[in-house]
C-alpha cells in the first residue's frame, strides 16, 4: 500500500469514528451496511468480471435469517449476524455452482432468476411475515454483555463489522487468489489455458461475495430493526449495481462512495417523494456519460496522468 493511500485510510477511519458526533447514527449505519453490500458486489463485477443481478437474495436472505434468529431464538447480535452470513454463503455456494457455468448475460439471468425464486419463497414462507416483514428486531446484547440499544453504541458495532468485511475484501483482492481473479476478468480463455480451473475460482469468489453481502444485510436488519421484502426484491439487486457503477467498479473505495451518495440522496431528498427515483436516474445517466469510470475511478485516472 502506498503512503498516500495509508494516509487516506487513516483519515477515513478517524472520520468514521467521529461521524456519530456529527451525523445521525441510524443514517450512518445504513450507509455502512450498503457500502459493505456494494463492496461485496464489486468483488465480483470489478475484480472477477461477473455481473450478478441477484445479489439481493444474499442481502435480503441474510437480513431475514438474522432478524429471525435474534427475534425468535434470542440470538446475541454477533451470532445473529454470523448466522445470516453463513446462511448467505451457503446459498451463494449453490447459486454460484449453477451460475458460473454460464458467461456474460446468461450468468446475470441465472442469478436474477434464482433471486426471484428466493423472493417468492420470502413472500410465501410463514416465518418471514410476508408483506409486514419482520419488525421490531431486538438488537440484543453484544456477547450477552453490552446492550446495543443505544444508536451510537450500535454504530460502533456496525463499524467494526464493516471494517472486518472491508479488510477481507481488500485482502482477497490483493492476494494470490486475487491475482488469478483479475486474470480471469482480463482474459478468461487465457487464464484457462495457463491451467487455472476458472470455474472453481469464480465459485470461491462468488461465495465470499455472497457471504459478505449477507453480512451487510444481517447488519442492516439489526441496526434498522426490520427485514422486509424490499431487501430481497430485484430492485435491491439493481440498486447495488447502481451504487457500484456510480462510485467506480473495480476500485476499492468506489462502492463505499457510491453507496454513500445513493443513500444520502434517498434520505435527504425524500421530501421530493417519488421524484427521488427520477433524480437518481438522472444522476446515473450524467455519471455514465460524463465519467464512465465512476467517481473514484475517474479521480484515480486523473491522478495517474
Partner 1 sequence: MATDYILETRELTKQFRGFTAVDKVSINVRRSSIHALIGPNGAGKTTFFNLLTKFLPPTSGSIVYNGHDITREKPAQTARRGVIRSFQISAVFPHLTVMENVRVALQRKLGTSFHFWKPESTLNHLNERAMELLTEVDLESFADTQTVELPYGRKRALEIATTLAVDPELMLLDEPTQGMGHEDVGRVVDLIRKVAKNRTVLMVEHNMSVIANLSDQITVLARGTVLAEGPYDVVSKNPLVLEAYVGSAEAEVT
Binding site for partner 1 (CB under 8 A): 171-172, 174-180, 182-183, 186-187, 189-198, 200-201, 204, 208
Q: Considering the complex, state which of residue 86 and residue 113 has its C-beta at the smaller distance from partner 1.
A: 86
Q: Considering the complex, state which of residue 187 and residue 235 has its C-beta at the smaller distance from partner 1.
A: 187
Q: What is the distance between the alpha carbons of residues 130 and 114, in angstroms, rounded to a whole number?
A: 19
Min dist. Cβ of residue 200 to partner 1 (A)? 8
Q: What is the distance between the alpha carbons of residues 77 and 142, in angstroms, rounded to a whole number?
A: 6
Q: Considering the complex, state which of residue 102 and residue 200 has its C-beta at the smaller distance from partner 1.
A: 200
Question: For 143, phi and psi rounded to 5 degrees?
Answer: 55, 20
Q: State the DSSP code for 233.
A: S
Q: What is the distance between the alpha carbons of residues 156 and 34, in angstroms, rounded to a whole number?
A: 16
Min dist. Cβ of residue 301 to partner 1 (A)? 12
Stretch (H or E) spanning 146: strand 146-147
Q: Considering the complex, state which of residue 187 and residue 270 has its C-beta at the smaller distance from partner 1.
A: 187
Q: What is the distance between the alpha carbons of residues 218 and 82, in angstroms, rounded to a whole number?
A: 8
Beta bridge partners of 147: 141
Q: What is the DSSP string of 261-295?
A: HHHHHHHHTGGGTTHHHHHHHHHHHHHHHH-TTHH
Q: Considering the complex, state which of residue 5 and residue 147 has its C-beta at the smaller distance from partner 1.
A: 5
Min dist. Cβ of residue 178 to partner 1 (A)? 7
Q: What is the distance between the alpha carbons of residues 177 and 182, in angstroms, rounded to a whole number?
A: 9
Min dist. Cβ of residue 250 to partner 1 (A)? 9
Min dist. Cβ of residue 88 to partner 1 (A)? 17
Cell digits of residue 125: 414462507
Q: What is the distance between the alpha carbons of residues 217 and 174, in angstroms, rounded to a whole number?
A: 25
Min dist. Cβ of residue 297 to partner 1 (A)? 12
Q: Considering the complex, state which of residue 140 and residue 178 has its C-beta at the smaller distance from partner 1.
A: 178
Q: Considering the complex, state which of residue 19 and residue 191 has its C-beta at the smaller distance from partner 1.
A: 191
Sorted by sequence, the CB contacts under 8 Å of residue 132 that are 6+ apart come out as 228
Min dist. Cβ of residue 293 to partner 1 (A)? 12
Amino acid at each position: 500500500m502506498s503512503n498516500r493511500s495509508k494516509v487516506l485510510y487513516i483519515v477515513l477511519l478517524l472520520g468514521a469514528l467521529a461521524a456519530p458526533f456529527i451525523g445521525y447514527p441510524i443514517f450512518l449505519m445504513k450507509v455502512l451496511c450498503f457500502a459493505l453490500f456494494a463492496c461485496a458486489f464489486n468483488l465480483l463485477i470489478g475484480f472477477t468480471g461477473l455481473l450478478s443481478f441477484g445479489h439481493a437474495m444474499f442481502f435480503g436472505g441474510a437480513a431475514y435469517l438474522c432478524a429471525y434468529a435474534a427475534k425468535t431464538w434470542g440470538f446475541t447480535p454477533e451470532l445473529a449476524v454470523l448466522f445470516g452470513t453463513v446462511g448467505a454463503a451457503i446459498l451463494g455456494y449453490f447459486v454460484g455452482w449453477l451460475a458460473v457455468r454460464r458467461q456474460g448475460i446468461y450468468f446475470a439471468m441465472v442469478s436474477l432468476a434464482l433471486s426471484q425464486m428466493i423472493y417468492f419463497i420470502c413472500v410465501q414462507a410463514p416465518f418471514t411475515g410476508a408483506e409486514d416483514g419482520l419488525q421490531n428486531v431486538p438488537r440484543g446484547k453484544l456477547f450477552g454483555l453490552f446492550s446495543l440499544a443505544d444508536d451510537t453504541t450500535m454504530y460502533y458495532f456496525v463499524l467494526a463489522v464493516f471494517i472486518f468485511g472491508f479488510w477481507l475484501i481488500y485482502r482477497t483482492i490483493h492476494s494470490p487468489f486475487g491475482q488469478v481473479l483479475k486474470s480471469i476478468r482480463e482474459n478468461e480463455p487465457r487464464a484457462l489455458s495457463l491451467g487455472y480451473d476458472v470455474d472453481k475460482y469464480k465459485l470461491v469468489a462468488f461465495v465470499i461475495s455472497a457471504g459478505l453481502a449477507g453480512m451487510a444485510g444481517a447488519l442492516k436488519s439489526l441496526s434498522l430493526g426490520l427485514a422486509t421484502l424490499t431487501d430481497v426484491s430485484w430492485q435491491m439487486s439493481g440498486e447495488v449495481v447502481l451504487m457500484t457503477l456510480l462510485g467506480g467498479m473495480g476500485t476499492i473505495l468506489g462502492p463505499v462512495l457510491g453507496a454513500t451518495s445513493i443513500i444520502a440522496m434517498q434520505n435527504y431528498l425524500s421530501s421530493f417523494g417519488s421524484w427521488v427515483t427520477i433524480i437518481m436516474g438522472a444522476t446515473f445517466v450524467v455519471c455514465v456519460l460524463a465519467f464512465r469510470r465512476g467517481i473514484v475511478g475517474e479521480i484515480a485516472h486523473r491522478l495517474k496522468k
